[in-house]
Amino acid sequence: MKWVEVDSTSIAAIAYDRSKRELGIEFRQSGRVYFYFEVPPEEHEAFMSADSKGGYLNRVFKARGYRYSGPYARRRAA
């Protein structure tokens, strides 16, 4: 899973594993990481394309009720 730094005030980085349909989100302020499961590739693409990543997460992503796990401690740099 490759982490990509994003331009967001609330989200530091996003990762996606297409084969597992698993999406990771690291939050900027806390450094906490959450993993969401059964996320279709088109949802990941829409999330990455959103002007506001935090807004998309709150308005769209969470509303769809993806199963998730976390929080975990800050991810380790590769």
pLDDT digits over 40-70, tens only?
A: 999 999 999 999 999 999 998 888 999 999 9
Amino acid letter, 56: Y
Domain-embedded: residue 14: yes
Domain-embedded: residue 30: yes
Residue 74: pLDDT band with limits 50, 70, 90: confident
**pTM of this structure:** 0.90
- Please give the mean pLDDT across all residues of the chain: 92
- Tell me what pLDDT residue 75 has: 73
Domain-embedded: residue 78: no
Number of folded domains in the chain? 1
Question: Across the strands, what pairs with 14?
Answer: 4, 25
Is 4 in contact with 15 (CB distance < 8 Å)?
yes
Domain-embedded: residue 77: no
Is 61 in contact with 36 (CB distance < 8 Å)?
yes
Domain encompassing residue 41: 3-72
